[in-house]
Amino acid sequence: MTFRLATWNVNSIRSRLDRVVPWLDRADIDVLALQETKCRDDQFPTERFEEAGYEVAHIGLSQWNGVAIASRVGLEDVEVSFPGQPGFDKDAGASLLSAPVVEARAIGATCGGVRVWSLYVPNGRALDDPHYEYKLEWLAALRDTGKKWLADDPAAQIALVGDWNIAPTDDDVWSPEFFEGKTHVSEPERDAFQAIVDTGFSDVMRPFAPGPGVYTYWDYTQLRFPRKEGMRIDFILTSPTLAARATDASVDREERKGKSPSDHAPVVAEFGD
């Protein structure tokens, strides 16, 4: 049997619900990780997913951020936030491990034998913004935790999926010159992403979609989508044993088209036995 895993920054689940739920069936998705749900737990449209045959785990604290996992192959051992995940003190304008609120940016669950983490990495905002330092601390904490997971169980099947807000190489942006001096492409961010890869996690889509021009995000402004001016910032990173099962991966670019799309398209990976 195959296992189909997807990640999608939906930019408000309540605004995209009538796109997301039908797509699950159409794309034959077993597990979907969602980011930027932009709602509290009591506002999440759980019933619509359950009617479609999916269990849901969600964490949302306000109209910002929010992550979820929808699964039709089981949903066990739900965990909100990964160990060591830092918070951000918006009043102090600083990232703090002891910040009063850890934002709704990570949720994990075991689905069909795979430990899936839906992740919404902090944006960073600007290179001189405290949120940028928060982003780097957040990624460093994820690296350390992921490294420990693999050390504790080298055979673990783990998927770190979501909106990483990083374009790891120049091939992952439509114009390196346009992004010069901006977040998402800075050397520290790219190094932080690579450090997670270096612990043993693999970008499963790249072998199936090599080269430039493969994007997952297009800004709503300046006709970025029809002009093919995008970024690849959404990823499915998997542990070695899960990566060895990968048989296909792609971006469903069609979901960036039509009425009221998200500015991100879903990334889908398929795994064999």
Binding site for Mg(2+): what residues are annotated?
9, 36, 163, 165, 263-264
What number of CA atoms fall less than 13 Å from residue 251's CA on the CB side? 23
Give the closest residue to 94 by CA, choosing from 122, 65, 133, 64. Answer: 133
Helix (H, G, I), strand (E, B) or coil at 187: helix
What one-character DSSP code corresponds to residue 8? E
Q: Round to whole Å and give the CA distance between 150 and 242.
A: 12
Nearest to 66 by CA among 15, 100, 125: 15
Nearest to 114 by CA among 230, 254, 1: 1
Query: Which residues sit in the known binding site?
Result: 9, 36, 163, 165, 263-264
H helices, E strands: number in the chain: 6, 14
In angstroms, the Cα distances linking 48 to 70, 76, 110 are: 11, 20, 21
CA distance 29 to 11: 19
The encoded tokens of residue 220 equal 């709503």
DSSP bridge pairs for 118: 107, 161
List the structure tokens of 148.
């420990």
Catalytic residues: 120, 163, 264
Calculate the alpha carbon distances from 160 to 99, 142, 234, 256 in Å.
24, 10, 11, 23
